[in-house]
């Protein structure tokens, strides 16, 4: 410790700026603009460029990483940020390399993917989105930030705010689903959670809105694939959650791997400079995705690393993640006049600004406190929060004859490869979340809830994805003796997520076949699903009595599932993404256009020349916003405060919701709007509000939404973002299929 104090005061003198210890309020440094300008006035062009370089540690301090001589380069001040180094002690050691050795002693920025928790793992993001509960999502991000910051992390590469309408794309698991409004609300909630109200507190971390942009629109759902879309679709559908993140104060952005209409996002000046930095006035920094700059060569957009680096920087990219292109070529491009000092200065300033915001110039070691780390890992209230969010993320898809909730004294055969699993249940991109031995499996959750007298058995029966069938015998024997069978089935945790695209999204391996055989026993069957994307479940929907979608539910997942199965938690999650009937229907999403020949379903008098499939319904199996409860909710008495809404006024929409069933429960009340005629065609309906209400048995509540013309804006025929006067229809209910409706006119 004495050595460190001495060292800190030497650093203060050497670098010209104060550095304070965690417990020491002493040295105050100059205001940001002045401080950063001073520092930059001392920097050479190379030193500025090196701030734009991120190296990967791959979890260790040694070894070959994103370039050779990792340690030496840090000591020489040639690295601005380090990826994937974790742990207070480890990161302090790396930070020392920079601040004790480099000429200007500029602290490193430590980034890591803290996607749905750091150690305490929350449900995957698609699961959290099912809660339709921004406060719960914010809380999860807050806990993750407290835990990660204590573990030496300054910066997370989250939230992923890509709109995703194609379940073949494995990364649907990482986002908030298909809807612009829900996606925007949850983007902002995540930013607030990670960044808190003051970035200079040492328990807040930089958030990163990714992947900018339209990454979720990859053709055919194949990861990294091309996207091609109109500027209108881009702005109406794919950009709003990013804009919401900027409005919430997000400090960093990550460019996406894909190209949009011929231009890779990494070198897309229109996106990065014109829209993000100029139009939206984003003052934070933009990082590329992992080797995204180099990949512009394979895209056929840059001829070599030097070309790629200058294209990226000029387009508005501030940091090269791992690719080494900025480090190796930007000085040459500067000497050759291909990049200006102004552009380098702008990028460097943005990087230094966020380091300043985090308080790193005051104390580069402020995130590296082992005592704090120990105290803030798997804290009881973090685990409690993980349980709470997991319970909110369960979606009940089917419940024939009220098979659920189960009675605690029933004889139950739990079968399926995930019934006792504590590895997959926390899902992919689980940062440092421990799996076996830490995560609560369904088996453990059931035993925690029912205790030793429980009449339950647990047998895998089949493998997750293989076709070994010799385990089925024991499962059958127990199923035969049971009152009810609970099949816990789904995907491998890393089957969805990055590079997890699939053409077949049925239950994998022999699981479906096993279910079919269990069906033959004639007992009630409950299917508990764990998966990172919508699956095709047409057979299951027809043949299985109850289906509970639990996604990957995190460290406390098994407790949340058990409490839901046995009725201690009444499920209230709603789908943030539609479940298709078959892969052939994809993309299927609720806010589609009507076409000139809309199909009205089986009752349509004209069946032939309509926009429809001849071998399938148009509708999804389970629509966006859908999810059942153990109780029932009735909607009535829809009232609008006016039939004519002026542009500068507000419309109040109220509806009565009554719990007419036998349990207390939460319901997500949803408001949809249809703009009937536009200068460009408008979707059949769009979510414009939601509110979760808790209703006791028999209770009635009035829910009121407010709408103004601002909520009705879109990019019109002249590409102006505006609302247009005319007729609107509204629908209120418990899913995107809501039928209770009203209308109003927007008037000048
Ligand atoms: C992913 C990003 C992630 C980055 C760093 C990339 O492959 O696309 O989402 O943040 O790796 O781990």
**How much is the average pLDDT of 54-73?**
66
How would you list the strands of the sheet with 208-212, edge to edge?
208-212, 252-255, 285-287
Closest of 309, 290, 316, 367 to residue 54, by C-alpha: 290
- Alpha-carbon distance 701 to 659, whole Å? 9
Q: How far is the CA of 437 from the centre of ligand 1 (A)?
A: 27
Q: Is 612 in the pocket of ligand 1 (CB under 6 A)?
A: no
**In the prediction, which pLDDT does 62 show?**
41
Answer yes or no: is the C-beta of 290 below 6 A from any ligand 1 atom.
Answer: yes
Cα 207 to ligand 1 centre (Å): 14
How large is the average pLDDT for residues 402-415? Answer: 98
| pLDDT score of 375 | 97
Cα distance between residue 576 and residue 668, in whole Å: 12
The DSSP string of 175-192 is S--S-HHHHHHHHHHHHH
CA dihedral 602, 607, 609, 611 (to 10 degrees): 10
Q: How far does residue 256's CA lie from ligand 1's centre (Å)? A: 9
Question: Which residues, in sequence order, are bridge partners of residue 362?
Answer: none
Q: Report d(CA 252, CA 248) in Å as an integer.
A: 12
Tell whether ligand 1 has an atom less than 6 A from the beta carbon of residue 113. yes
CA dihedral 312, 315, 321, 324 (to 10 degrees): 30
Q: Residue 722's beta-bridge partner residues? A: 714
Cα–Cα distance, 388 to 573 (Å, whole number): 12
* Confidence check: pLDDT of 105 > 60: yes
- The whole-number average pLDDT for the span 274-285 is 98
Q: Give the closest residue (by CA) to ligand 1 atom 4.
A: 290
402 burial level (CB within 10 Å; 0-12, 13-18, 19+): exposed
pLDDT on residue 717? 98
Question: What is the rounded average pLDDT of the residues 469-481?
Answer: 89
Q: Which helix (H) or strand (E) holds 94?
A: helix 88-101
Structure tokens at 187: 């983007």
Element (H, E) at 705: strand 700-708
Mean residue pLDDT of the chain comes to 94
- For residue 57, the model assigns a pLDDT of 84
Which residues are annotated as catalytic? 289
DSSP H or E stretch at residue 700: strand 700-708
pLDDT tens column, 131-159: 999 999 999 999 999 999 999 999 999 99
pLDDT band at 20 (very low <50, low <70, confident <90, very high): very low
7, two tokens:
């060292």
Cβ neighbours around 23 below 10 Å, total: 6
Structure tokens at 494: 């890393």
- The more confidently predicted of residues 60 and 94 is 94
Question: Regarding beta strands 740-747 and 726-733, do their DSSP bridges make them parallel or antiparallel, or are they unpaired?
Answer: antiparallel
**What would the mean pLDDT of 290-309 be, rounded to a whole number?**
98
Residue 249 makes CB contacts below 8 A (sequence gap 6+) with 191, 192, 195
Mean pLDDT over 554-568 rounds to 98
pLDDT of 10 above 90: no
Ligand 1 geometric centre to CA of 266 (Å)? 14
Q: What is the pLDDT of residue 470?
A: 72
**How far is 79 from 465, CA to CA, in rounded Å?**
42
Separation of CA 240 from chain center: 15
Q: Give 63's pLDDT tier (boundaries 50, 70, 90).
A: very low
Other C-beta atoms lying within 10 Å of the C-beta of residue 285? 31
Q: Is the CB of 728 under 6 A from ligand 1?
A: no
Q: Identify which of 156, 157, 293 to mutate to test ligand 1's pocket (most ligand atoms within 8 A of the CB).
A: 157
pLDDT digits (tens, 9 = 90+) for 691-722: 999 999 999 999 999 999 999 999 999 999 99
Ligand 1 atom at minimal distance to the Cα of residue 84: 12
User: Is residue 253 lining ligand 1, measured as CB closer than 6 Å?
Assistant: no
Strand, coil or helix: 323 = coil
The Å distance, Cα 290 to ligand 1 centre, comes to 6
Question: Ligand 1, residues 54, 175, 218, 498: which to mutate, most atoms within 8 A of Cβ?
Answer: 498
346 lines ligand 1 (CB under 6 A): no
Angle at 48 between CA 43 and CA 50, to 5 degrees: 125
Q: Whose CA is nearest to atom 11 of ligand 1?
A: 290
**How confident is the model over 431-435, as a mean pLDDT?**
95
Please indicate whether residue 289, judged by its CB atom, sits closer than 6 Å to ligand 1: yes
pLDDT(26) > 70: no
| Res 367: pLDDT | 97
Q: Is the CB of 157 under 6 A from ligand 1?
A: yes
What is the CA(591)–ligand 1 centre distance, in A? 29
Residues 542-553 have pLDDT tens digits of 999 999 999 999
User: Looking at the predicted structure, is the pLDDT value of residue 12 above 90?
Assistant: no
| Cβ atoms 43, 104 nearer than 8 A | yes
pLDDT higher than threshold 90 for residue 6: no
DSSP label at residue 628:
B
CA-proximal residue: ligand 1, atom 12 (nearest): 113
Give SS3 for 394.
coil
Q: Which of 356, 376, 308 is nearest to 151 (CA)?
A: 376
Is 162's C-beta closer than 6 angstroms to any atom of ligand 1? Answer: no
Query: What is the three-class DSSP state of 587?
Result: coil
Of the candidates 267, 339, 261, 249, the one whose C-alpha atom is nearest the C-alpha of residue 303 is 267
Pairwise CA distance, residues 635 & 740, whole Å: 7
Ligand 1: residue whose CA is nearest its atom 10: 157
Mutating to test ligand 1, I would choose from 54, 66, 113 the residue with most ligand atoms within 8 A of its C-beta, which is 113
Q: Give the pTM.
A: 0.95
Question: How high is the pLDDT of residue 71?
Answer: 87
Return the pLDDT at 486: 98
Task: With beta carbons less than 8 A apart as the criterion, state whether 125 and 175 touch.
Answer: yes
Query: Which has the closest alpha carbon to 23: 373, 372, 376?
Result: 372
What does the pLDDT average to over 127-133?
98
> Mean pLDDT over residues 90-98, rounded?
96
Whole-number Å distance, alpha carbon 47 to ligand 1 midpoint, is 26
DSSP tag of 727: E
Pocket test for ligand 1, best of 65, 171, 289 (most atoms within 8 A of CB): 289
For 229-269, give the DSSP string.
--HHHIIIIISHHHHHHHHTT--EEEE-SSEETTEEGGG-H
Q: CA 638, CA 652: separation in Å to the nearest integer?
A: 11
Please write the tens of the pLDDT for every residue from 611-662: 999 999 999 999 999 999 999 999 999 999 999 999 999 999 999 999 999 9
- Determine the distance separating the centroid of ligand 1 and the alpha carbon of 295, expressed in angstroms: 14
Mean pLDDT of 576-586: 98
Q: List domains and CATH numbers for the chain.
A: 1-107+281-367 (3.20.20.300), 392-585 (3.40.50.1700), 633-747 (2.60.40.10)
CA of 607 to the centre of ligand 1 (A): 47
Q: Find where tokens 């429980």 sit.
A: 454
Secondary structure of residue 674 in the 3-state scheme: strand
Spatial contact of 90 and 61, defined as CB atoms under 8 Å apart: yes
Phi, psi for residue 744 in degrees, rounded to 5: -150, 170
Q: What percent of the chain stands above pLDDT 70?
A: 95
Q: Is 210 in the pocket of ligand 1 (CB under 6 A)?
A: yes
Closest-CA residue, ligand 1 atom 6, reads 290
């Amino acid at each position: 410790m004495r050595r460190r104090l001495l060292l800190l005061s030497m650093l203060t003198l050497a670098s010209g700026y104060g550095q304070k210890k965690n417990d020491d309020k002493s040295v105050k440094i100059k205001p940001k603009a002045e401080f950063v300008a001073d520092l930059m006035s001392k920097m050479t062009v190379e030193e500025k460029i090196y701030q734009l370089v991120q190296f990967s540690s791959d979890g260790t301090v040694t070894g070959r990483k994103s370039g050779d001589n990792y340690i030496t380069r840090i000591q020489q001040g040639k690295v601005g940020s380090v990826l994937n180094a974790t742990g207070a002690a480890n990161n302090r050691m790396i930070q020392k390399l920079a601040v004790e050795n480099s000429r200007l002693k500029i602290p490193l920025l430590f980034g890591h993917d803290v996607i749905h928790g750091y150690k305490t793992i929350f449900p995957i993001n698609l699961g959290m989105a099912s809660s339709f509960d921004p406060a719960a999502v914010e809380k999860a991000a807050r806990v993750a930030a407290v835990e990660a910051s204590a573990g030496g992390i300054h910066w997370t590469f989250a939230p992923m705010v890509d709109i995703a309408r194609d379940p073949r794309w494995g990364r649907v698991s990482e986002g908030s689903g298909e809807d612009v409004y829900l996606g925007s609300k949850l983007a902002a909630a995540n930013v607030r959670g990670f960044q808190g109200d003051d970035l200079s507190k040492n328990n807040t971390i930089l958030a990163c809105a990714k992947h900018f942009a339209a990454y979720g629109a990859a053709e055919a759902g194949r990861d990294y694939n091309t996207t091609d879309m109109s500027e209108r679709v881009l702005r109406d559908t794919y950009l709003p959650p990013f804009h919401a993140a900027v409005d919430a104060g997000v400090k960093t952005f990550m460019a996406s791997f894909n190209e949009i209409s011929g231009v890779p996002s990494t070198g897309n000046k229109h996106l990065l400079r014109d829209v993000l930095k100029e139009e939206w006035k984003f003052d934070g920094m933009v990082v590329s995705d992992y080797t995204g700059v180099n990949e512009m060569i394979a895209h056929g957009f840059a001829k070599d690393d030097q070309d790629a680096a200058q294209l990226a920087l000029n387009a508005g990219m501030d940091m090269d993640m791992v690719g080494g292109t900025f480090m190796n070529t930007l000085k040459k491009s500067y000497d050759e006049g291909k990049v200006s000092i102004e552009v380098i200065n702008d990028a460097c300033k943005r990087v230094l600004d966020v380091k300043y915001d985090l308080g790193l110039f005051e104390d580069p070691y402020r995130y590296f406190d082992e005592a704090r780390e120990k105290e803030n890992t798997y804290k009881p209230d973090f685990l409690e929060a993980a349980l709470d969010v997991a319970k909110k993320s369960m979606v009940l898809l089917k419940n024939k004859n009220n098979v659920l909730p189960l009675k605690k004294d029933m004889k139950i055969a739990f079968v399926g490869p995930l019934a006792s699993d504590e590895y997959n249940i926390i899902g992919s991109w689980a940062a440092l979340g421990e799996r076996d031995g830490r995560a609560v499996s369904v088996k453990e959750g059931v035993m925690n809830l029912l205790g030793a007298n429980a009449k339950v058995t647990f047998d895998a029966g089949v493998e997750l994805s293989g076709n070994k069938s010799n385990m089925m015998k024991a499962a059958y024997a127990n199923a035969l003796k049971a009152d009810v069978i609970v099949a816990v089935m789904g995907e491998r945790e890393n089957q969805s997520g990055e590079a997890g695209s699939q053409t077949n999204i049925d239950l994998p391996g022999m699981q479906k076949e096993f279910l079919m055989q269990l069906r033959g026993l004639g007992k009630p069957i409950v299917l508990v699903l764990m998966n990172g994307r919508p699956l095709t479940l047409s057979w299951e929907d027809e043949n299985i009595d109850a289906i509970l979608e639990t996604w990957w539910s995190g460290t406390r997942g098994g407790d949340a599932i058990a409490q839901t199965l046995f009725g201690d938690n009444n499920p209230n999650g709603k789908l943030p993404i539609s479940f298709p009937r078959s892969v052939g229907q994809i993309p299927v999403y609720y806010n589609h256009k009507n076409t000139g020949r809309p199909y009205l379903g089986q009752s349509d008098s004209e069946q032939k020349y309509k926009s429809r499939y001849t071998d399938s319904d148009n509708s999804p199996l389970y629509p966006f916003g859908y999810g059942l409860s153990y109780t029932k909710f009735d909607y009535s008495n829809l009232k609008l405060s006016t039939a004519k809404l002026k542009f500068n006024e507000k419309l109040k929409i109220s509806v009565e919701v009554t719990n007419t069933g036998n349990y207390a429960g939460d319901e997500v009340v949803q408001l949809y709007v249809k703009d009937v005629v536009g200068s460009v065609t408008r979707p059949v309906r769009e979510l414009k509000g939601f509110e979760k209400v808790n209703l006791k048995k028999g209770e009635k509540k009035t829910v009121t939404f407010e709408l103004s013309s601002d909520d009705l804006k879109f990019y019109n025929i002249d590409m102006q973002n505006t609302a247009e006067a005319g007729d609107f229809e509204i629908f209120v209910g418990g899913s995107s299929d809501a039928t209770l409706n009203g209308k109003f006119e927007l008037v000048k």
